[in-house]
Amino acid sequence: MSGMASDHNSSQEGYIPHYLQKEDPFASKLSREADIIAGFYLTIIGILSTLGNGYVIFMSSKRKKKLRPAEIMTVNLAVCDLGISVVGKPFSIISFFSHRWMFGWIGCRWYGWAGFFFGCGSLITMTAVSLDRYLKICHLSYGTWLKRHHAFICLAIIWAYATFWATVPFAGVGSYAPEPFGTSCTLDWWLAQASVAGQAFVLSILFFCLLFPTAVIVFSYVKIILKVKSSTKEVAHYDTRIQNSHILEMKLTKVAMLICAGFLLAWIPYAVVSVWSAFGWPDSVPIQFSVIPTLLAKSAAMYNPIIYQVIDCKFACCRSGGLKAKSSSRKSR
């Protein structure tokens, strides 16, 4: 049995995942000091994320009837990030401080489902935002008919998509399991080491919940950048109303691009480690190394409110500068 597990090129029937190799899969494999540091880190991230995304949702609710479709999507992104912070992070924070996962297999599966559900919802929301920006900037004839009710239809599709893929493991196709370091849970990437069915499950998750959405996002923003470079001079000849509308659309596009970049930078290291755990040499990722991408991914929910505020302040400064310039020109005339 052990020979089969060690030979990656032979039949994978004998592979035993890390959570079945020991009697207690939920005992921390890190030092107590490392767990305390990780606990404090997640506490800070959780507080900042909760306050920031809560503030975004609160301020958006005050002007909910005036929100543009892209802004509705960014509010949905804040809801996803708030869900991760409120529903998921308390479980991992308590477990890190306790030096073991405290909630058993039921809590592990719930935590894994919630993390994947809100994470998938975030990425698909950003995919929808990137398509909205692409149509608004590159195909004006299509962008003009995208209204608020289309955004709400899109939200229903996003939540259904995230629910489907997060719930698929409960149908016996996949599973949720403890991380190698013991104090957190995730998708059971190690199923790919055990069977062909496990490989099919992991590949489906990777394609539909990571690779395909990321490809759409990259395509959309590359096309937007090329379009903006070619159309900047054209916009200068339009009247002030069209120029102001263009400035607002570009502001929303910058917000969306920065949000997507922050999300992908936070999650790509975790995705790389997960893929290696699934298809690389069995158990070759050091436990101490595997915790770092996990903690980095959990910080993604904190970035978005910061991006909103930076872009809003920059936009307000530019707008006030423009108003001062206009007023001075009127006085000179």
**Rg for the chain, CA atoms, rounded:** 23
Contacts of 263 (CB under 8 A, 6+ apart): 122, 123, 126, 300, 303
**Exposure on the CB side of residue 150, measured as CA atoms within 13 A:** 13
Distances from the Cα of 120 to the Cαs of 74, 166, 231, 299, in angstroms? 15, 8, 34, 15
Beta bridge partners of 186: 177
What is the pLDDT at residue 321?
A: 45
Please state the φ and ψ torsions of residue 170, each to the nearest 5 degrees.
-75, -10
pLDDT (tens place) for every residue of the chain, 333 residues total: 333 333 344 335 567 888 887 778 999 999 999 999 999 999 999 999 999 999 889 988 888 888 888 788 889 999 999 999 998 899 999 999 999 999 999 999 999 999 999 999 999 999 998 888 888 888 877 766 678 888 899 999 999 999 999 999 998 888 999 999 999 999 999 988 888 888 999 999 999 999 999 999 999 888 888 887 666 555 555 556 655 666 666 777 777 788 888 888 889 999 999 999 888 887 788 888 889 999 999 888 888 777 766 655 554 444 444 444 444 444 433
What is the pLDDT at residue 240?
A: 62
What is the pLDDT at residue 159?
A: 97
What is the pLDDT at residue 8?
A: 41
200-210: per-residue pLDDT in tens? 999 999 999 99
What number of other Cβ atoms are within 10 A of residue 271's Cβ?
17
What is the pLDDT at residue 248?
A: 66
| All structural domains of the chain with their residue ranges | 25-231+240-312
118-140: per-residue pLDDT in tens? 999 999 999 998 888 888 888 87
What is the pLDDT at residue 211?
A: 93
What is the pLDDT at residue 36?
A: 96
Distance from C-alpha of 171 to C-alpha of 192, rounded to nearest angstrom: 17
Whether this model's pTM surpasses 0.75: yes
The pair of structure tokens assigned to 81 is 């990030």
Cβ distance 71 to 315 under 8 Å?
no
Q: Does domain 25-231+240-312 have CATH number 1.20.1070.10?
A: yes
Cβ distance 184 to 30 under 8 Å?
no
